Structure 1
């Protein structure tokens, strides 16, 4: 993914310029090079060709971008053609080279065997795949950046810019990194991918009990939540329903319902056709302040801030 390469390189270039302007002579510039594990041009996602520098075996930080994927699963097939890259990562790790990844670049690091026991982030859309394929890594669900000093992993595509900010902060300090972020119209390093998560995009096991519960709740989105009524609908005790739901999802029906309600509210806010109190009622709440607190907890913004950000 070209963005995951160039966003890092371009941000540290901006940081170089800001350091030269704001603290002349105090910092050496960061040198960013795109390196390859094999000779010849690299085919970026979308078919564009890029000429890279051959890997020379040394750097202060080796950043691994994600690859292009179009479906869930199939990781063995996706990674099988990348043996030279995997061997390069293994050699770098054997020399204690600090490593970083953007997005599903974490899959390459894990496939190379260098993430065992490490806390890592990856794209929220593929967290389930990652956790299933690499249980030896400690997945930090929803994190934008996991910084373990000699290992930095980040979330989905634009987290390359968060990585660029972290690199600039380490090298130049907070003031230069913040100045570069302002020039690039960035709001600083983000904490969570959660505001961007859309459960509708995740793969669904349509036969699971949790999926059927989710469907029942979604059909009654504007109605008050009653656990006993939900359990009766599935001929279970409340304790059994909660236990089975948690075993399948790791969460509770109420937490899932709150997430769905927030996602629906986001869609209605983006459409910009309803008043906030109408939206709150449409997703099953009576009190605007109560729902606004939930919305802020899930997205980092109030409903009004979210609408302004999306609609201007």
Structure 2
């Protein structure tokens, strides 16, 4: 039997009449393929940030062609998936062979929905793990991976805002909530928001190069990629510093205000000596760690005295003071009034403003 060799895809062909045909353009094989699993009431911002970094890196310019990268939203039923904001996303394909993807990304959202994920997704994720497909947890996606039994022995990054929720649901596990993302072998986790863009940029840089990752972030008005060890931003930190060690220390204190950690404990958690931590605080904030930590506790206490009807005894406990007397003494030293006097003065000022 005579076998005729066909021209390779994209090569110049020759017609029967001998005329040469123009070469067809060939779409390159994608360097990265990502499957997304979206939980019910997932966080739209986290999903959009992650997928947009891939989109902008996948093509030249901003034409949105999935040339270098490709992605799909996976589903067990193909029903539309509502985000926590009410915006609905339509899946693009059913659950199938997870081995066709380089990564499976699970995007969570409302914490009450975590246990309600269909068992079909848990089986799919377990199948992916068995096939050695790296798994990514975004927002409460890390919770979903834990529910599926796929995070044992792995470090896990969660939002400082969800730190307590995580401890309540997963007894004995210690989440990391002072970094923007964590890459631990074939498990990658981040707390959502802007950190989803930085984790996606990490993957783009890994598979396509730094220039492509930087391009995506710049188009999204994000000023450069952050490393995973960068501290999570927090709205309640009153100290302005770019020192990552100091910010991490402050975030750790913030997460344990009701049971204050010593300076030595904070230093050990960060893997440095107590003296080195003290030097960083002196250089960055011109104060000691102990003084900074006390300022954080008192600032929170003042906010609670001003804005809540909680008893001073309860505020003392929640801010890590041993008793009401100790709390009142420290409060007066800092704000030149007892908690009772401070609250009374604020109430009287508010009443005067309302009358005026």
TM-score, length of structure 2 as denominator length = 0.52
| Matched residue, 1:47 | 86
| Matched residue, 1:37 | 76
Between 1:106-115 and 1:92-101, the stretch displaced more is: 92-101
User: What residue ranges of structure 1 are gaps of 5+ in the alignment?
Assistant: 22-26, 70-74, 201-209, 216-243, 265-282, 285-312
Contact between 1:245 and 1:253, CA under 8 Å: does it hold in 2? no
| Shift in CA distance, 51/186, structure 1 to aligned 2, threshold 3 Å | same
- In the TM superposition, residue 178 of structure 1 has moved relative to its aligned partner by 1.6
Contact between 1:117 and 1:138, CA under 8 Å: does it hold in 2? no
Between 1:45-54 and 1:7-16, the stretch displaced more is: 45-54
Q: How many residue pairs align between the two structures?
A: 214
- In the TM superposition, residue 130 of structure 1 has moved relative to its aligned partner by 1.3
Answering whether residue 175 of structure 2 is matched by residue 156 of structure 1, we say no
- In the TM superposition, residue 156 of structure 1 has moved relative to its aligned partner by 3.2
Answering whether residue 96 of structure 2 is matched by residue 56 of structure 1, we say yes
Within a 5 Å distance, the mapping from 1:213-252 to structure 2 comes to: 245-246=260-261
| Matched residue, 1:7 | 49
- In the TM superposition, residue 87 of structure 1 has moved relative to its aligned partner by 2.5
- In the TM superposition, residue 195 of structure 1 has moved relative to its aligned partner by 3.0
What RMSD in Å do the two structures reach over aligned CA positions?
3.6
Tell which structure's C-alpha radius of gyration is larger.
2
| Matched residue, 1:168 | 204
Distance 1:263 1:192 in 2: 24
| Shift in CA distance, 257/84, structure 1 to aligned 2, threshold 3 Å | farther
User: What residue ranges of structure 2 are gaps of 5+ in the alignment?
Assistant: 1-42, 239-252, 267-288, 302-332, 335-356
Within a 5 Å distance, the mapping from 1:176-187 to structure 2 comes to: 176-187=212-223
Of the three residues 195, 211, 217, the one matched with 2:233 is 195
| Shift in CA distance, 57/121, structure 1 to aligned 2, threshold 3 Å | same
| Shift in CA distance, 16/260, structure 1 to aligned 2, threshold 3 Å | farther
| Shift in CA distance, 30/136, structure 1 to aligned 2, threshold 3 Å | farther
- In the TM superposition, residue 36 of structure 1 has moved relative to its aligned partner by 1.7
